Amino acid sequence: MPENVRVLVALSGGVDSSVACALLVDELGADAVVGATLRLWGGASDSGCCSVADVEDARRVADRLGVDHHVFDFAEDFEARVVTPYVEGHAGGRTPNPCIECNRHLKFDRLLARARRLGFDALATGHHARRAPGPDGRWRLLRGADPAKDQSYVLAMLGQDQLARCLFPVGEKTKAEVRQLAAHRGLPTAAKPDSQDVCFIRSDEGRAGFLGDRVPLHDGRLVDHGTGADLGPVGAVELVTVGQRRGMGHGTDGRRRFVTAVDVPGRRVVVGPPEAARCTGVVLDTVAWVDGPVPAGAAVLAQCSAHGPARAATVHPETAGAALAVRFARTERRVAPGQTVALYDPDRPESVLGSGVAR
């Protein structure tokens, strides 16, 4: 890394960002590194990266490493860009991914812009992903070295402008190595569990409690995918997700039913056998490319969840608008509207091509 570089580190209060900060201090010196924690959620939180305890953990890490630490209040933007779309999405029968939208709008937009205004050369995070220059000098976004912790999926909306100014110091390390480094440096987050849930939803309220405080939840009816027959009641259609099988009962053949569609205005949840929950493709909106769009008909690997397998597919730009049709090589499980599909290069499966949000 060039001399006299100054880096702002997004300290979430977790072990990964703590070690990212430590590695940069080792490389650049404490004077070149500053920690920043985002105050995103004004409500109560007991999980994720939004609690008061997380801010305190980040401060303790900064103190241990001898770096300055700031707290930036982005709560208003978080409410507008992440929480409100999450609520509205569920109210419309969609299943948004708030962590990805937080990355898109807060960490790699507003925070990155703040870093530049404050004179920092780069923003570093604790994501398990890598970036590397290609032969043409353009940046590539790569999977993290630890397959079990790879987070390239939640970063697949990043483009050249962001990648040119971002660092992922733990991307070359496994999670075990990260924890070992944290313990060796005496960081207070060394044994802290990973966050698992949506950070602004308390464990004692769940999605039902959180959404129920903000929008009306409506009972509905289960409808058979093939015959249209009424199969009985279902609670809170706004909480049901395409592809869900839990709580959907069994068919006459004894097999569990899967959700194939959610119709919130009609108060209907369409369910069917496993084969009905499969599809030949998905249309994506909010399409973003790491280094420009790929040609129509290009082969890709499509990953439809954070840790799901990447499936062979081809991409076909829609003639109307900026949407992208992804056609699977063979039928796959339906993608819930609102979920992100990350696209990878089949010739270099570790390399991200781009992403979009399922229509």
* Catalytic residue list: 102, 199
Helix (H) or strand (E) holding 57: helix 52-65
- 103 Cβ contact partners less than 8 Å away, ≥ 6 residues apart: 154, 155, 157
- Number of other residues whose CB lies within 10 A of the CB of residue 330: 9
Q: Which residue has the tokens 């998905």?
A: 282
Angle between helix 175-184 and 15-28 (nearest 10): 60
**Structural contact between residues 46 and 61, judged by C-beta atoms closer than 8 angstroms:** no
Question: Which stretches does DSSP call E strand in the chain?
Answer: 7-10, 33-39, 68-73, 122-124, 129-133, 139-143, 166-167, 220-224, 230-234, 258-263, 268-272, 278-289, 299-303, 310-317, 324-333, 340-345, 348-358
Q: What is the Cα–Cα distance from 272 to 275, expressed in whole angstroms?
A: 8
Question: Does residue 338 sit in helix, strand or coil?
Answer: coil
Q: What is the Cα–Cα distance from 241 to 335, expressed in whole angstroms?
A: 10
Identify which of 17, 19, 12 has the alpha carbon closest to the alpha carbon of residue 71.
12
The first and second tokens of residue 249, run together, are 């009962």
Q: Which residue has the tokens 């075990």?
A: 176
Q: What is the CA radius of gyration of the chain?
A: 22
First to last CA, the chain: 41
